Amino acid sequence: MGNKFVPIGIIIIAVLALVVVKPMAVDTRKTNAQINAYSERSEALGMKIAKLREFQPKLAEYSATINDLRTAMPAAQQIPEVLVMVEAIAKNTGLNISGFDIQPSSGGSEVGVGMSASGTYDNLASFTSKLENNVRPIKIKSMAVTSGQGDASQIAVSVSFGILYQGKVDQQVADQLN
């Protein structure tokens, strides 16, 4: 009687093994495939990160260049900055400013500046040179020079110039750039 149940027990164990072990084996294969896919993706991302790290110094260099260009050609008129810049140039060259006249742009790309000052010819030549070589593009439109009263070495100058900026830029873009 004991021998009759042995084959039935073996068959029951085999059926249970197929029902329980086979799905686990399929799940294990799926898990291994997912692990391999994640491993490949991780390697690919690691290579991309390495490439980005190679470009990091170049990006820093480009960022500095872009900032220099934004300084040279801002998106907005920046009238207070224009006044400070022109006053600093005049002061550094020895010109004494007696008056400013700013003509803000109305839809263009240039801030008009009229300035009256006095100093020596060398002061004026130095001022003109610094304006022409400034980081911001400047167009000198007119210049009138008259001899100073009293001191022959002093001259009076009236200069009209335009300081350029990007002009008709969408306000959201201008806000992002500055």
Do 113 and 152 have their domain in common?
yes
* Measured distance CA(131)–CA(126) in Å, rounded: 9
Residue 50 lies inside a defined structural domain of this protein: yes
Instruction: Say what the pLDDT of residue 131 is.
Output: 85
Tokens 């801002």 locate to 74
pTM across the whole model? 0.57
Instruction: Say what the pLDDT of residue 93 is.
Output: 94
H or E segment at 158? strand 155-164
Instruction: Say what the pLDDT of residue 94 is.
Output: 93
Do 107 and 158 have their domain in common?
yes
Instruction: Say what the pLDDT of residue 55 is.
Output: 86
Number of domains in the chain: 2
Domain boundary residue, one of 72, 99, 116: 72
Do 14 and 85 have their domain in common?
no
Do 66 and 86 have their domain in common?
no
Domain boundary residue, one of 72, 100, 129: 72
Residue 177 lies inside a defined structural domain of this protein: no
Domain that holds residue 108: 79-172
Instruction: Say what the pLDDT of residue 168 is.
Output: 62
Instruction: Say what the pLDDT of residue 161 is.
Output: 87
* Measured distance CA(39)–CA(51) in Å, rounded: 19
List average pLDDT for each run of 10 residues in the chain, which is 178 residues long: 68 73 71 87 92 87 84 80 88 92 78 90 91 86 83 85 73 54
Instruction: Say what the pLDDT of residue 11 is.
Output: 77
Residue 17 lies inside a defined structural domain of this protein: yes
